[in-house]
């Protein structure tokens, strides 16, 4: 696509955007009594306007049916989580039996590690990306200690080559090969939260399996951002949150994927709870855990009805828009942002884009490494009505989201950035 650094070009792209009407389906935050330009989808997506209606429906049932809401009325709570199954499966490229919406991300990660990190003999090592999001680091560190291993010996961290900001796929695959028979698990993000790099999940999964290891992904920044094909790629397990690109509210519910070859194995070790027990006899309250088939067998607690109601509203928007259509716009929108940053910044002495330039290797995020006074630049952008994200020590993440961001907003951002950099 041939971009132009003009307002007319941006407005023309917006006029021709088949997804432009979705912007009106979300609330926009206000700064100085005006709609802010919101580029923070990788930390919290905007609220769908339909979310309130879905919450009100469940509040009405609670008020009028109380405990009977579990079994009476439209869409009883007993099976409410299943209203989210089909849409979630489409988002992550899974069979319906392979996904379940439950808990929150790190809780789900721990539940998955209980089942899929099973060190034995010399096979005890875990490969993960260096500088992964802290929750992943802490979860893995404590799981390794739980099994009696030293994290410094068991966890193999992958870092970019000297002078580079992102991992090379060949280096990831080589590390997997080098670990060989010592490797028990590969656990990586689908997209790196800091740089926005998309990892080649299919190639990593294939290499991990060839080494005899289990492979899982944290899709916190990938679910709802890029098309994913967990089933076809034969990923063993995955987890994700729903409050970022899935627009399902702060602290919203989360998801988990378990490939059918594992989900249909009732002998697989797990930490059980009553909601994962065979639903046909669940209320008999008897001893002896009988897991539900598929990913539902990893449930531990009652469904979080109110957060799930919000997620339901969001998933309906994804079905309406289509993941492939969202990705197409995302690549154009993020490509435009990259072009404009290149056109307005004053050189690497001030900032450097650390997100891959290849559109296939990034999601809807550009991370700018600011060389001087990063927090000051961030504050200036915020004061100008542009909400972005700051990550220590000096990275500003800008996430143009195809549901509710426009080309004109990207252009306006570049104008403000240009002024800020001139005075930086």
Show me where the domains of the chain are located. 7-48+323-422, 75-319
Instruction: Answer left, alpha or beta for residue 322, where phi above 0 means left and psi between -120 and 50 means alpha.
Output: left
* Cβ pair 112, 105 in contact under 8 A: no
Under DSSP, the state recorded for 251 is: T
In whole angstroms, give the CA distance from residue 137 to residue 300.
23
* Cβ pair 327, 226 in contact under 8 A: yes
DSSP string for 277-310: B-TTTGGG--SS--BPSGGGGG--S---HHHHHH
How far is CA 36 from its chain centroid?
23
Asked if residue 137 has a cis previous peptide bond (ω within 30° of 0), the answer is: no
Instruction: Report pLDDT for 346.
Output: 55
Instruction: Report pLDDT for 33.
Output: 86
For residues 230, 236, 169, 365, the Cα torsion angle rounded to the nearest 10 degrees is 50
Residues sharing a CB contact under 8 Å with residue 64, sequence separation 6 or more, in sequence order? none
How far is CA 4 from its chain centroid?
31
Instruction: Report pLDDT for 1.
Output: 81
Instruction: Report pLDDT for 218.
Output: 98
CATH architecture of the domain with residue range 75-319: 3-Layer(aba) Sandwich (3.40)
Instruction: Report pLDDT for 330.
Output: 98
Q: Is 64 helix (H, G, I), strand (E, B) or coil?
A: helix
Burial (0-12, 13-18, 19+ Cβ within 10 Å), 312: buried
How far is CA 300 from its chain centroid?
22
Bridge pairing between strands 351-353 and 389-391 = unpaired
SS (H, E, C) 341-404: HHHHCCCCCCEEECCCCCHHHECCCEEEEECCCHHHHHHHHHHCCEECEEECCCEEEEECCCCC
CATH class given for the domain over 7-48+323-422? alpha beta
Q: What is the pLDDT along the chain (424 residues), one digit of tens a residue?
A: 899 999 999 999 999 999 999 999 999 999 888 899 999 999 999 999 999 999 999 999 999 999 999 999 889 999 999 999 999 999 999 999 999 999 999 999 999 999 999 999 999 999 999 999 999 999 999 999 999 999 999 999 999 999 999 999 999 999 999 999 999 999 999 999 999 999 999 999 999 999 999 999 999 999 999 999 999 999 999 999 999 999 999 999 999 999 999 999 999 999 999 999 989 898 888 999 999 999 999 999 999 999 999 999 999 999 999 999 999 999 999 999 999 999 876 555 788 999 999 999 999 999 999 988 999 999 999 999 999 999 999 999 999 999 999 999 999 999 999 998 887 6
Instruction: Report pLDDT for 167.
Output: 97
Instruction: Report pLDDT for 74.
Output: 87
Instruction: Report pLDDT for 32.
Output: 84
In whole angstroms, give the CA distance from residue 302 to residue 284.
16
Q: Give CA angle at 417 (28, 356), nearest 5°.
A: 90
* Cβ pair 27, 46 in contact under 8 A: yes
Q: Which residues of 69-103 are buried (b: 16+ CB within 10 A; e: fewer)?
A: bbeeeebebbebbebbbebbbbbbbbbebbbbbbb
């Amino acid at each position: 696509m041939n971009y132009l650094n003009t307002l007319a070009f941006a407005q023309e792209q917006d006029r021709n955007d088949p997804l432009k009407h979705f912007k009106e389906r979300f609330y926009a935050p206000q700064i100085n009594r005006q709609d802010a330009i919101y580029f923070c989808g990788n930390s919290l997506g905007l609220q769908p306007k339909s979310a309130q209606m879905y919450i009100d429906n469940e509040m009405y049932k609670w008020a009028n049916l109380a405990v009977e809401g579990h079994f009476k009325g439209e869409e009883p709570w007993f099976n409410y989580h299943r209203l989210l199954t089909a849409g979630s499966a489409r988002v992550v490229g899974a069979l319906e039996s392979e996904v379940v919406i439950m808990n929150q991300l790190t809780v789900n990660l721990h539940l998955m590690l209980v089942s899929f990190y099973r060190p034995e003999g010399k096979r005890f090592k875990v490969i993960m990306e260096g500088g992964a999001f802290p929750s992943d680091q802490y979860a893995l560190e404590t799981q390794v200690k739980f099994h009696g291993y030293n994290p410094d010996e068991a966890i193999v961290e992958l870092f970019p080559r000297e002078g580079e900001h992102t991992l090379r796929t060949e280096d990831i695959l080589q590390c997997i090969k080098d670990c060989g028979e010592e490797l028990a698990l590969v656990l990586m993000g689908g997209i790196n939260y800091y740089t926005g790099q998309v990892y080649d999940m299919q190639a990593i999964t294939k290499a991990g399996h060839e080494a005899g290891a289990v492979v899982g992904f944290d899709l916190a920044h990938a679910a709802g951002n890029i098309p994913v094909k967990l089933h076809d790629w034969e990923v063993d397990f995955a987890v994700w949150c729903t409050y970022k690109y899935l627009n399902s509210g702060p602290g919203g519910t989360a998801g988990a994927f378990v490939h059918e070859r594992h989900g249909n194995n009732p002998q697989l070790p797990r930490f059980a709870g009553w909601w994962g027990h065979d639903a046909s006899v669940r209320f008999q309250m008897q001893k002896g855990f009988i897991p539900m088939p598929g990913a539902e067998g990893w449930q531990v607690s009652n469904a979080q009805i109110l957060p799930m109601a919000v997620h339901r509203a969001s998933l309906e928007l994804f079905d309406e828009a289509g993941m492939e259509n969202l990705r197409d716009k995302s690549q154009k929108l993020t490509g435009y942002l990259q072009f404009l940053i290149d056109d307005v910044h004053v050189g690497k002495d001030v900032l450097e884009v650390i997100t891959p330039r290849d559109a296939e290797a990034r999601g809807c995020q550009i991370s700018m490494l600011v060389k001087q006074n990063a927090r000051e630049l961030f504050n200036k952008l915020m004061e100008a009505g542009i909400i972005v994200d700051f990550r220590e020590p000096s990275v500003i993440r800008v996430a143009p989201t195809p549901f509710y961001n426009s080309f004109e907003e990207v252009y306006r951002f570049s104008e403000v950035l240009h002024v800020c950099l001139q005075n930086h």
